[in-house]
Amino acid sequence: MEFFVDTADIKEIKRINDMGILDGVTTNPSLVLKSNKNFKELIKEICKVVPGPVSAEVTATKFDEMYNEGIKLSKIAKNVVVKVPLTPDGIKTCKKLSKKKIGVNVTLCFSVNQAILAAKAGAKYVSPFIGRLDDIGKNGIDLISDIKKVYSNYKNLNTKILAASIRSTKHITQAAMAGADVATVPPKLLEEMFDHPLTAKGLKIFLDDWKKTKQKIL
C-alpha cells in the first residue's frame, strides 16, 4: 500500500519525506487555509519536495470553471493530480481531464455506485472517506472492501482506491487489509504507526547492554 500524507504543512511534508516512506501528498481547501499560504505557490513548493503525486483540489462547482481550474493546476508541475468532487460536473471534468492524460483524484466518495462512476470517468484515484462514514454510523472500511470487490471484476479498470478521512492507526491497518491501494494519513497518525511499547522496551535493553560493553562504533 502506498502512503500519502494529508497535509499542506510544508515543514511536515519535508520531515516525513526525509524518512523515505512517502509516496505522495493530498491537500484540500481546509488544509490550505491552515497553511496561510498562496495556494498555487504552495502546491508548486510541495511538488518540488515530493516527486510523487500531489493532489490539488479545484474550488469551482460548475463544469466549465472546474475544467479550466484543473488545466491551470495541472500546469503547476508534472506530478499534480487534479482533485474534483464526486458530482455530475466533477465526473464530467474528470473524464475530459483524463482524456488529456491529466491525473484526477475524485474525492468525497461515500458509495460503491459513486466509485463506479469515478472509474468510468477514468479517474486515477477515487477517495472513499472512511471516518466520515463512521461518524454517521456506517462502516467506512466496508466501503473500501466493497469497492475493491467490484473493481477486481474488471481487469481493464485502472482507478486506484485511496482511503481518506483516516482517523486512527486501526483505520490504516484495516484499509490495508481491505485492499486499499493508497492511504492518505495525517502526519500525527503516521507518527503513531511507529509506536509499540515492546519496541521502546527492547531498544532500551539493547542500549543498556551496549553501554556495558564500553565499545564504540564510530
Cα angle 143, 163, 18 (rounded to 5 degrees) comes to 165
The single residue of 83, 96, 124, 160 carrying the catalytic annotation is 83
Is 83 known to be catalytic? Answer: yes
Cα angle 74, 75, 78 (rounded to 5 degrees) comes to 75
3-state SS, residue 163: strand
Nearest to 42 by CA among 52, 54, 58: 54
The residues annotated as belonging to the active site are: 83
